[in-house]
Structure 1
Amino acid sequence: MKQFIAFVRKEFYHVLRDKRTLLILFGMPIAQILVFGFALTNEVKDSEILVVDYAKDNASQEIITKIAASRYFKIRKAALTHTEILSTFQKGKIKAVVVFPANFNDELRHNNKAQVQIITDASDINTANMITNYLSAILLDYQNQINVNIEMPYQIIAETRMLYNPQLKGAHGFVPGVMALVLMLVSVMMTAISIVREKETGTMEILLVSPFKPVLVIFAKALPYLFLSLINVSAIIFLSVFALELPVKGSLLLLFAESTLFIITCLALGIFISIKTDSQQIAMLISLMGMLLPTMIFSGFLFPIENMPYPLQVISNIVPSKWFYIIVKSIMIKGLGIQSLWKETSILLGMTLFLLTISLKSFKIRLQ
């Protein structure tokens, strides 16, 4: 144990003395959280929405048909109460709900106006805004269609409700995504480079022939980056709360526990890359290109996954940052607990065990 503690201490000293490493570890997260928090926009198509039709009359059916005919939405129909609608949103299966009140057609024909309620999940602000705009445009088109040659035009009023983010702040969508991106890059890249560096300098051979167990060498190299990544998590949460006014609605302890699990997943991936490569340049290239693009494209925080072709949607399931992004958004913005996130947590745990197993197995093979 004394040897292990000494090795971990040595790795901490190495990290803290390297200014470039400190810049990557702490400069990049702060810069990204401040820049990405306000910047990007998305296009929406094939978004899954729920239609609750209490009216079941000609007018509501015609509007539903027009919505279904657009390329923007995939419609699910159900008769739910408002409590059940909220529960459906918490599961993350739908992007919006369109509610037609009872007597919708009668209100429209007799009073010349009627209301339609549009409820969206504003934890993803860009998608919520786009969906609201598209649905409002479809309602306006139907309104213009029925008002041809009518002296007293009919009016359909869309009552919009934004769940989880009523102020429509962009940070709600990008803080969880930046957290996943930063932790993936820092944990994978720094772990991979630190181990490969030992190979290039020849010190790995000395460590392997020493009484120090080879497996503990790997764990000692990775442990400092676990603690430093948790510091990054704290910094991101601090900035989100005090700079971007995005409080953590769920359990802070659960958020840190899930972040720790994701960091360990990334560290295991970094260990695997380091075992399979022999130079720092190759390890850095694989870590940056192999982790940056999948995290940005397939996690869902820049581009809605449901917009992608089906094969790419399947590929996104093997990207750990996708599941971590869902977890962070659910805890920070929706305030959900582990009972709602057991599936995503189980997937991350399975990925972690798989990566650790193949990494340690490959390392043992290299020792022979």
Structure 2
Amino acid sequence: MKRFKGFVQKEFYHIFRDKRSLFILFGMPIAQIMLFGFAITNEINNVDIAILDRSNDATTKEIINKISASKYFSVLQVLNNESGIEPAFKKGKVKAVLYFENDFSKKLIAQKSAKVQIVTDATDPNMANTISNYIISILQNYQQEQNRTIEIGYQIVPESRMIYNSELKSVYMFVPGVMTVILMLVSAMMTSISIAREKEQGTMEILLVSPLKPFQVILGKVFPYIFLSIINAVVIVLLSIFVFNVPVTGSLFLLGLETVLFIITSLALGILISTIATTQQSAMMISLMGLMLPVILLSGFIFPVSSMPWPLQIISHIVPAKWFIIIVKGIMLKGVGLNFLWKETLVLGAMTLFFIGLSVKKYKIRLE
């Protein structure tokens, strides 16, 4: 029994001395429960909306103040006419437009009824439905409050209008997300595992002392994955067009260029992971935990980033998938060009340069 007790104590000592084991044992569960608890939500918070008030009377101002005072919405923009609705959506921040008709207050008094149109960006159909329902709920609450003080109640009639996906097809949301996940997996994870395998087998050093320069060896290792990822992207786009009937309203050429940029960004990230990982197992763990969860949870693929706590919103800015999903949705569903997507393109470009620069620095330290 004493021998067994001593053996158990030895195992405890080994675990407590291994910081990686302690992190996996205690740190990962805490990080995952916090991430899943805050990121996975169907609620909305601080969603940016725009207002088009053709009536501009006391009643519409009260309604606007009531909506903006809630924690669910924040008025980002006030539009002057209908022609400003589509550009507001194409910029990517505005998720809904509240459109009050002419003589709103007068119609409530004279006809006991007035209409307000709720225009939502349905590229994310679940979020569009949720936004519409929340606004309708606030309008009904305002209506009930007003009807308590008058004998013959009036009615505010909300009209929902979904743009870019009027049929609310969920495939419009999943195609950009699935495309992003596949490209990230093939480009980043496969690259990191491939290089880690060479290092684990002791053949990477042999390659690096060959006549080829180190950057040529690394480029040769990752170059095939560029073509594999491009083939995957082409297959996904073709399937989305001809099988799922997802439109590509923008430029296919621009979509191709942006896709290649994202593939290079993912490859650069995979190379960076390979500089950290010494074995295939560790490369796999870093890729899965460091890429898969952020891609699914923090990219806006399934859950809206705007509804997450501000620390997670800040972290989401360093997730390349978030910017690529915005680009794909913008080109395929909204038909926007580089004039609306230049910021996201610059972010991906900057990330690529950062990942490559850091990878080269670490390779010089560890492999030369």
Q: Does the 8 Å contact 1:53/1:60 carry over to 2?
A: yes
> Is 1:295 aligned to 2:295, yes or no?
yes
What pairs with 1:155-174 in structure 2 (closer than 5 Å)? Answer: 155-174=155-174
* TM-align CA RMSD: 1.7
Counterpart AA for 1:203: T
What pairs with 1:70-149 in structure 2 (closer than 5 Å)? Answer: 70-76=70-76, 78-148=78-148
Q: Does the 8 Å contact 1:45/1:72 carry over to 2?
A: yes
| Superimposed CA distance per residue, residues 129-163 of structure 1 (whole angstroms, 9 cap, x where no aligned partner) | 11111111222222233334756431221122211
> Is 1:255 aligned to 2:255, yes or no?
yes
TM-aligned CA deviation for residue 366 of structure 1:
2.3
Q: Does the 8 Å contact 2:44/2:72 carry over to 1?
A: yes
Distance 1:353 1:66 in 2: 46
Determine helix, strand or coil for the equivalent of 2:245.
Answer: coil
Determine helix, strand or coil for the equivalent of 2:97.
Answer: strand
State the percentage of identical aligned residues: 54
Distance 2:76 2:258 in 1: 32
**Structure 2 match to 1:232:** 232
- Taking structure 1 as the reference length, the TM-score comes to 0.85
Identify which of structures 1 and 2 has the higher relative contact order when contacts are C-alpha pairs closer than 8 Å and 6+ apart: 1
**Structure 2 match to 1:218:** 218
Counterpart AA for 2:252: L
**Structure 1 match to 2:177:** 177
Distance 2:119 2:80 in 1: 13
**Structure 2 match to 1:18:** none
Q: Does the 8 Å contact 1:96/1:119 carry over to 2?
A: yes
Determine helix, strand or coil for the equivalent of 1:42.
Answer: coil
Distance 2:210 2:353 in 1: 27
**Structure 2 match to 1:186:** 186
What pairs with 1:328-347 in structure 2 (closer than 5 Å)? Answer: 328-347=328-347
TM-aligned CA deviation for residue 70 of structure 1:
2.6
Q: Does the 8 Å contact 1:54/1:79 carry over to 2?
A: no
Distance 2:208 2:78 in 1: 62
Distance 2:276 2:141 in 1: 58
Q: Does the 8 Å contact 2:79/2:85 carry over to 1?
A: no
Q: Does the 8 Å contact 2:299/2:316 carry over to 1?
A: yes
TM-aligned CA deviation for residue 262 of structure 1:
0.6
TM-aligned CA deviation for residue 65 of structure 1:
2.7
TM-aligned CA deviation for residue 330 of structure 1:
0.4
The change in CA–CA distance for 1:179 and 1:149 in structure 2 (over 3 A counts) is same
**Runs ≥4 residues deviating over 4 A:** 149-152
**Structure 2 match to 1:316:** 316
Q: Does the 8 Å contact 2:53/2:99 carry over to 1?
A: yes
Distance 2:249 2:96 in 1: 21
| Superimposed CA distance per residue, residues 16-59 of structure 1 (whole angstroms, 9 cap, x where no aligned partner) | xxxxxxxxxxxxxxxxxxxxxxxx98332221111222222222
Determine helix, strand or coil for the equivalent of 2:116.
Answer: strand
Determine helix, strand or coil for the equivalent of 1:230.
Answer: helix
**Structure 2 match to 1:325:** 325
TM-aligned CA deviation for residue 248 of structure 1:
1.2
Distance 1:110 1:246 in 2: 45
Distance 2:211 2:69 in 1: 70
Determine helix, strand or coil for the equivalent of 2:318.
Answer: coil
Q: Does the 8 Å contact 2:50/2:79 carry over to 1?
A: no
Distance 1:258 1:77 in 2: 29
**Structure 2 match to 1:241:** 241
TM-aligned CA deviation for residue 105 of structure 1:
0.6
TM-aligned CA deviation for residue 225 of structure 1:
0.8
TM-aligned CA deviation for residue 85 of structure 1:
2.0
Q: Does the 8 Å contact 1:42/1:302 carry over to 2?
A: no
Moved more, 180-189 or 64-73: 64-73
- Taking structure 2 as the reference length, the TM-score comes to 0.85
| Superimposed CA distance per residue, residues 261-309 of structure 1 (whole angstroms, 9 cap, x where no aligned partner) | 1111111111111122210000010011110111112211222111122
Gaps of 5+ in 1: 1-39
